[in-house]
A and B are shown apart, each in its own frame.
Chain A
Amino acid sequence: MEARREKREARRRYSRTNQMGREGRFCAWLLAPCCLLLASWLWAAEEPGRVEKTLDTTPNPRVSVSNLRGNVVVKGWDKSQVHALFTTTSSKIGVDIEPTPPKGQADRVRFQTETLNAPLNTNGESADYSLDVPLNSTLDIRDTQGSVRIEKVQGDVHIYSVAAPISVAEALGHLQVESVGGNLEIVRASGRVEASTVSGDIRFIYSASAALSGFTTSGRIVYQGDFVPRGNYNLATYSGEVDIFCPATASFELSAKTKGKVDNDFRMTSNQRRASSPSPYFNSFSGTYREGKATLEVRSYNGTIHIHRQP
């Protein structure tokens, strides 16, 4: 009986060992492709967490960046090349760089952040991009969180973020900036500008654009600077205030509507042609300051509209 029990035990031990051997081999087979995958990510990184690459391009390529969390900085330079520096805090994050065509001068370059185990966890893992692109590049930037900064790009720029604040300086082309909750700052833009956010603030500083619109629901809009003759400016908020700071030499035709107040430092002549019929539900104001060269339409549902004269 004892012998039979021992034999049974021995058989169990044998089968367990055998099973462990089989399980071990199974795990090895499972781990092998994972190691290969990890190796491929590491191969994409010249050093762990850093990729630096320079690509020859046409003078006006289309460059797109799709990032999950991190800082994206793009600057225009006078070379027909894209120089990219990608850095990350995590070994689980890599970048997919796709020039089109793959060889020679690319007219499109796509950067996409990829994660080994999607998505990023909450330990603040992020990926940052620093790009130098040809001056006439067209940009398409998407960054869910972090920040986006663009400088001196002359092609069309489209930026979208969920929570990342966005700052654009000296854009010459058509600029479209959209964010769910990020603040937007646009400095010295010369082309057409369209900026919108739901809960963020918008600041336009020294704009030279002749077609500019900004819209935020609960944020505030600040416009600082003069208006271009024959320019069209359209600023609207729901509850946020609109603050316009412009010089005494400005020349504009104003149409303002709000349930709140309109607070105006400028002495204007009432504009009968543009004035809409008075409404008992909201305040509307139309007037011309000096020659009325630019057209300014400002609306807020219940925020105050301030037009300040800068000294």
Chain B
Amino acid sequence: MFEGEGKETAACRLLDRELAAYLEGEERPELVAHIGECSFCYSMLAELEAIRSASSQLGLEEPPPGIWTSIRASLIAEGIIRQPGVSWRRWFERWPNWAWFHNPIAVAALGCLMILGIGLLRVPSARVSAPSTASRVDLSDVDVASAAAAVGPMETIYHVRAASFEPSVKEAYQKSLDSLDGEIRECLHSVQQEPDNSLAREYLLAAYQQKAYVLQSALNVEGR
């Protein structure tokens, strides 16, 4: 019935390369003709097809339960997960001696720092305190507005901190922030005049995000 009765022949070996291409969906009429007459290649093809089919339907494995716990701990340690309220507790724990509360100036300074702390908590988290390689974004007017709102409080804190920076460090930050502010102004103007200008929108949000990263990076710099 079949040529060779299930044994591999020279023809089978020659057509092996064609078998691979045929399995990739390429037309191979010679191979098709051969398979009709050769049980060896017929069974080979059927089995390889079965393996391919079964492989694409392999089930998913359940990971061990401890992975998320470890990931979560790392994300918290790196500040990627923001924990509202923790920064408050941490701040107060530094001041065990409440005697200086009697000093009105100290209380006022505490009040100011509390207000700045609230500003910090509202800041979007960005672990990497550096500009990102941003080039295109998905954004809407709401995204632009919320990005602008997030940057505001950080900028306030930056100006307080920057007064204590080394001159060359301050110059580097200021030059970069001036570039970004220029970009924001220009793109904002374009977006307002040309609402369909997708390039301007992309660059506008990218500029806000970069500015947030730069400001966040500045907060990590030691002052004088």
| Shortest beta-carbon distance from A191 to chain B in Å | 15
The distance in angstroms between the C-alpha atoms of A279 and B224, with both chains bound, is 50
The distance in angstroms between the C-alpha atoms of A293 and B132, with both chains bound, is 27
Point out which of A179, A236, A238, A259 has the most chain B C-beta atoms below 10 A from its C-beta: A238
Q: Is the CB of B199 within 8 A of A279?
A: yes
Cβ-neighbour of B135 out of A119, A179, A198, A299 (below 8 A):
A299
Point out which of A160, A213, A234 has the most chain B C-beta atoms below 10 A from its C-beta: A160
The distance in angstroms between the C-alpha atoms of A234 and B135, with both chains bound, is 8
Within 8 A of A (CB), among B170-215: 171-173, 175-176, 179-180, 182-183, 186-187, 190, 194, 196-200, 203, 207, 210, 214
Cβ-neighbour of B207 out of A69, A122, A217 (below 8 A):
A217
The distance in angstroms between the C-alpha atoms of A235 and B92, with both chains bound, is 46
Q: Is the CB of A215 within 8 A of B183?
A: no
Count of interface residues, chain B, beta-carbon cutoff 8 Å? 40
Task: Decide yes or no whether B111 CB sits under 8 A from chain A.
Answer: no
Known: A162-B217, A238-B207, A279-B199. A198 touches B133 (CB 8 A): no
Task: Decide yes or no whether A199 CB sits under 8 A from chain B.
Answer: yes
B residues less than 8 Å from A160 (CB atoms): 128-130
10 closest Cβ pairs, A-B complex: A181-B172, A178-B130, A198-B176, A163-B172, A218-B179, A236-B135, A281-B197, A196-B133, A119-B222, A215-B133
Residues of B near any A CB (own CB < 8 A) = 128-136, 166-169, 171-173, 175-176, 179-180, 182-183, 186-187, 190, 194, 196-200, 203, 207, 210, 214, 217, 221-224
Q: A160-B128, A163-B171, A198-B176 are in contact. List 10 more A-B contacts (CB 8 A).
A: A119-B166, A160-B129, A162-B173, A178-B131, A180-B173, A199-B176, A213-B135, A281-B200, A299-B136, A301-B200
